[in-house]
A and B are shown apart, each in its own frame.
Chain A
Amino acid sequence: EAGVAQSPRYKIIEKRQSVAFWCNPISGHATLYWYQQILGQGPKLLIQFQNNGVVDDSQLPKDRFSAERLKGVDSTLKIQPAKLEDSAVYLCASSLKSGILHFGDGTRLSIL
Chain B
Amino acid sequence: QQQVKQSPQSLIVQKGGISIINCAYENTAFDYFPWYQQFPGKGPALLIAIRPDVSEKKEGRFTISFNKSAKQFSLHIMDSQPGDSATYFCAANQAGTALIFGKGTTLSVSS
Residues of A in contact with B (beta carbons under 8 Å apart):
4, 33, 35, 40-45, 48, 55-56, 91, 93, 98-106
Chain A residues with CB under 8 Å of B100's CB are 45
Chain B residues with CB under 8 Å of A102's CB are 46
Chain A residues with CB under 8 Å of B42's CB are 105
CB–CB A56/B97 < 8 A: yes
CB–CB A98/B32 < 8 A: yes
Question: A43: which of B45, B89, B95 is its contact (CB, 8 Å)?
Answer: B89
**With an 8 A cutoff between CB atoms, is B52 at the interface?**
no
* CB-CB contacts below 8 Å: B12-57 with A: 32, 34, 41-46, 49
Chain A residues with CB under 8 Å of B78's CB are none
CB–CB B32/A103 < 8 A: no
CB–CB B101/A43 < 8 A: yes
Chain B residues with CB under 8 Å of A41's CB are 103-104
CB–CB B41/A105 < 8 A: yes
CB–CB B101/A42 < 8 A: yes
CB–CB A105/B43 < 8 A: yes
